[in-house]
Amino acid sequence: MIDDFITFFVAGQETTANTLSFSFLEMGKNPEIVKKAREEIDRVLGERSEVTYQDVSELKYCSAIFKESLRMYPPAAHVSRTTPYEMNIQGYTIPENSPIWVNLKVK
């Protein structure tokens, strides 16, 4: 159980750190994104320095920045699935119960 906890704890920190890093990378390359995010933060928070759960739900543009970073730089490069039944994809027959890997990287 301790090993599982450590795995989840470390993996959670790494994926969060990567998402933040790539978000800041894209903001650094696109100053207009920073300007719009700052305007939204100023509008939602005003002069307050503490952020509430309600505030987070109102930061739509900032949320979109993180979601786009996750789309462009997914923390997991692929996902694995098993086909539930035989299927035909673009002329290729994939048997039932076949393991498949889906690449999530955006080019």
Domain limits for position 42: 2-75
Q: Where are the beta strands (DSSP E) in the chain?
A: 78-82, 87-89, 92-94, 99-103
Condensed to tens digits (0 to 9), the pLDDT of residues 29-42 reads 999 999 999 999 99
Number of domains the chain contains: 2
Q: What percent of the chain has pLDDT over 70?
A: 89
Work out the mean pLDDT of the chain and round it to a whole number. Answer: 88
Sole residue written with tokens 């035989």: 86
Specify whether 63 is located in the same domain as 35.
yes
Specify whether 30 is located in the same domain as 71.
yes
Specify whether 94 is located in the same domain as 44.
no
pLDDT at 95: 96
Specify whether 46 is located in the same domain as 98.
no
Specify whether 46 is located in the same domain as 63.
yes
Specify whether 31 is located in the same domain as 11.
yes
Specify whether 59 is located in the same domain as 101.
no
Condensed to tens digits (0 to 9), the pLDDT of residues 40-72 reads 999 999 999 899 999 999 999 999 999 999 888
Specify whether 19 is located in the same domain as 42.
yes
